[in-house]
Amino acid sequence: MENFNGEVATVRKVGALSLATTSAMGGVFVGLVFGIFVTILYLIVGSALSAAGMASTSSYSSFMGPFAIIVFPISFGLSGFFSGLIGGWIYNLSAKITGGIKLYSE
């Protein structure tokens, strides 16, 4: 940007733990939304199978709904935490070599 008159900031280092906690919160949110979606899907399929006379699969469907709402946010949050931690660490290593990311504001 040759004719740029705004301020330039360079991100040379990120807080890996801060990035990890933010990624974890995003993962919990996505996991909750996905868990609700899977719960609704299992309830629909379970009621359809129950109406078709397959009562044994209905109990499986009623178990999987609450299981998905609990397990998905936890697993997505944990994977978000560790990927954010590793991503922050990798960024800090690469920023030492490349000088970081330049941010331009007007």
Q: What is the mean pLDDT of the chain?
A: 86
Query: Tokens standing for 103?
Result: 């941010």
- Please tell me the predicted confidence (pLDDT) of residue 18: 96
**Percent of the chain beyond pLDDT 90?**
57
- Please tell me the predicted confidence (pLDDT) of residue 88: 96
Query: Tokens standing for 88?
Result: 């922050």
Checking if the pLDDT of 36 tops 80, the result is: yes
Checking if the pLDDT of 13 tops 80, the result is: yes
- What's the whole-model pTM score? 0.77
At position 26, the amino acid (one-letter code) is: G
Checking if the pLDDT of 99 tops 60, the result is: yes
Separation of alpha carbons 82 and 18, rounded Å? 12
pLDDT tens per residue, range 45-70: 777 766 666 655 556 666 777 888 99
Checking if the pLDDT of 19 tops 80, the result is: yes
